[in-house]
Structure 1
Amino acid sequence: MSTEHEDDRSTVSGISRRSLLAAGAIGIPAVALVACSKAPAEEPTPTSSSSPVQGLPTTPASGAPLAKLSDITVGEAIAATGPDGGDIIIVRTAATTVEAYSAICTHEGCTVKPAGKELDCPCHGSVFDLKGAVLNGPAQRPLKAVKVALSGDNVVAG
């Protein structure tokens, strides 16, 4: 058996049905009230490599291996996960030299991909060289450098 009092206890994002009906009666769309209501806070998701959560990427610690040097051809690049958990591009510039750049396009934030001697943005056609410099826009700024080093055959963070 439903009563008017039970309707008061039913809420949408913390707003009672009665409040929604009253708002509609004075011309305020109910959708606006729901959209402005405060949603419950979500718990932060851990991303450290010491306690991985299944299905979520882990963040390598400083000095953690990011890639194998032997997997990168001299003069080419590979995509990897950087020390902060973001997408990066690792470039092997010589037999024992590597550099890394953020894989986030400076135009609108799409992820650039290695394409031979270039880095291509699939969203709007920006092209970067292997040093992160813009070869073809619409991007106007180079890719941000990321600190990496070699430790044996490993490319490591930091």
Structure 2
Amino acid sequence: MDQPVSAPVARRTVLTGAAVGAVALTAAACGDARQAATKPKTTETPGTALTTTDKVPVGGGVVTGDIVVTQPVAGQYKAFARTCPHAGCAVAAEGAGLACPCHGSRFDLSGEVTQGPAASNLTSVPIRVDGTDIVRA
């Protein structure tokens, strides 16, 4: 019985197929992460004390759970979900701003993107100051 004869596959065809597959997988993974990043969730419920005013430096910020609390100017406190809108990594307070360690996005203390690849600002979290406590509103 005759065996079917298959044509040899060119090396270029194999390499091109592998490259296309790798790009497709990367795009799919980033797409899923971006979808997750569009709706950041925080575990802190309204009424939860996040930190105290004396722990948040003027011109800086502190991380408390899933939230970063900043004090851009004396007496003005802001809070944001730590989820970077680019790919869902957790941002951290760094110097006079916020930084994402995964892809290098940077944000000012008002949560506005100052360096991509993130294309949108951090998600604001409502807070209030109650005496010296900063509380999730």
Partner residue, 2:48:
64
Q: Does 1:80 align with 2:70?
A: no
Rounded Cα–Cα distance in structure 2 between residues aligned with 1:123 and 1:60: 24
How far the C-alpha of 1:118 sits from its partner, in A, is: 1.3
Partner residue, 1:149:
128
Rounded Cα–Cα distance in structure 2 between residues aligned with 1:61 and 1:112: 20
Structure with greater Cα Rg: 1
Partner SS for 2:64:
strand
Partner SS for 1:89:
strand
Partner SS for 1:73:
coil
Deviations 1:14-64 (A, max 9, x none): xxxxxxxxxxxxxxxxxxxxxxxxxxxxxxxxxxxxxxxxxxxxx444222
Pairing of 1:130-141 with structure 2 (within 5 A): 130-141=109-120
* Equivalent residue pairs, number: 95
Rounded Cα–Cα distance in structure 2 between residues aligned with 1:118 and 1:94: 12
Return the structure number with greater helix share. Answer: 2
Partner residue, 1:123:
102
Gaps of 5+ in 2: 1-42
Partner SS for 2:54:
helix
**More deviation, 112-121/60-69:** 60-69
Q: Does 1:113 align with 2:113?
A: no
TM-score by length of 1: 0.57
Change (3 A) 1:95 1:118: closer
How far the C-alpha of 1:74 sits from its partner, in A, is: 1.1
Deviations 1:69-103 (A, max 9, x none): 1111111111112xxxxx11101133332110111
Partner SS for 2:114:
strand
Q: RMSD over aligned Cα, in angstroms?
A: 1.3
Partner SS for 1:105:
coil
TM-score by length of 2: 0.65
